[in-house]
């Protein structure tokens, strides 16, 4: 899932100061799971903003809507009849959702209410960790299901660097060495032969360095 975290309330208030009618738009997918932008978070933020503006003696109308997703046209259509009633939309979706909403409703400012962090997993309640950077060329079949692009600080492809010590990364002694994890996993699977194979140079053109990417599937168009 895409992991996001709440923006500081002060930052959100600064972006909303000039608006009198605000729609807070939540998303019922990834940001709900990571407790950053679902229906509950929309309600809490709306309450905090109402209280702030009331204490400032400023009359601001704040409404709440949570869509199933903000990354699909069909769900964004659900607010078409009301979006023009607001001076701004504060979206608690990930950065992709914020941009898609902004592209669809060009005449209304769409502002982010969360900071999008990475694609990751729920390690435990309240803890999310990165697992994928969407590099466009997955090699997990050869690395025991552990990604050196996202788990190795240096994104190395042929074993650990000289800085790892006792299974920990040199940049942070609390961080597991990605390649140590790969080696341990391959050993557990009895597949250490995969570790001995020299990985070819990665085609980084499939990553973000080549500009915004697109996936087209003719079979579902």
CATH code for the domain in which residue 81 is found: 3.40.50.2300
Residue span of the structural domain in which 179 resides: 135-208
Residue 102 shares a structural domain with residue 142: no
Return d(Cα 52, Cα 54) in angstroms, integer: 5
Would you state the pLDDT for residue 156?
92
Task: Render the burial of 169-188: b for 16+ CB within 10 Å, e for the rest.
Answer: beeeeeeebbbbbbbeebee
Same domain, 102 and 148: no
Contact of 121 with 33, CB cutoff 8 Å: no
Looking at residue 115, its pLDDT comes to 97
Domain assignment present for residue 124? The answer is no
Residue 114 and residue 139 in one domain: no
Q: Residue 11: its pLDDT value, please?
A: 98
The residue count of the chain comes to 221
For residue 217, the model assigns a pLDDT of 84
What letters, b where the CB count within 10 A reaches 16 and e where it falls short, cover 196-220? eeeeeebeeeeeeeeeeeeeeeeee
What's the number of CA atoms in the CB half-sphere (13 Å) around residue 25?
Answer: 32
pLDDT value of residue 94: 97
Number of domains in the chain: 2
Same domain, 6 and 114: yes
Residue 132 pLDDT class (50, 70, 90 cuts): very high
Token pair 């990751």 is found at: 120
- Regarding whether 113 and 162 lie in a shared domain, the answer is no
- Which pLDDT score is estimated for 129? 95
Same domain? For 60 and 141 the reply is: no
pLDDT at residue 214, rounded to an integer:
81
139 & 114 share domain: no
Separation CA 8–CA 210 (nearest Å): 32
Share above pLDDT 70 across residues of the chain, in percent, rounded to a whole number: 100
Residue 195 lies in a domain: yes
pLDDT tens-place string over residues 78-124 = 999 999 999 999 999 999 999 999 999 999 999 999 999 999 999 99
> pTM higher than 0.85, yes or no?
yes
CA angle 12, 18, 23 (to 5 degrees): 60
User: Does residue 127 form part of some domain?
Assistant: no
Q: Return the pLDDT at 12.
A: 98
Cα separation, 74 vs 69, whole angstroms: 9
């Amino acid at each position: 899932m895409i992991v996001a975290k709440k923006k500081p309330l002060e930052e959100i208030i600064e972006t909303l100061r000039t608006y009198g009618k605000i729609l807070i738009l939540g998303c019922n997918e990834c940001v709900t799971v990571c407790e950053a932008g679902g229906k509950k978070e929309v309600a809490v933020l709306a309450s905090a903003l109402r209280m702030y503006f009331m204490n400032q003696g400023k009359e601001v109308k704040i409404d709440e809507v949570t869509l199933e997703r903000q990354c699909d046209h069909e769900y964004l259509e659900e607010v078409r009849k009301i979006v023009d009633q607001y001076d701004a939309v504060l979206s608690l979706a990930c950065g992709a959702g914020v941009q898609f909403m902004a592209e669809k409703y060009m005449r209304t400012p769409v502002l982010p209410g969360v900071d999008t962090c990475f694609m990751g997993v729920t390690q435990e309640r309240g803890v999310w960790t990165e697992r994928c950077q969407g590099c466009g060329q997955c090699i997990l079949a050869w690395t025991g299901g552990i990604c050196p692009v996202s788990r190795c600080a240096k994104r190395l492809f042929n074993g650990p660097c000289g800085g790892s010590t006792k299974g920990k990364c040199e940049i942070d002694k609390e961080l597991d060495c990605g390649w140590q994890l790969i080696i341990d996993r391959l050993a557990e699977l009895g597949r250490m032969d995969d570790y001995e194979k020299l990985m070819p140079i990665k085609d980084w053109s499939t990553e973000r360095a080549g500009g915004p990417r697109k996936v087209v599937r003719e079979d579902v168009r």
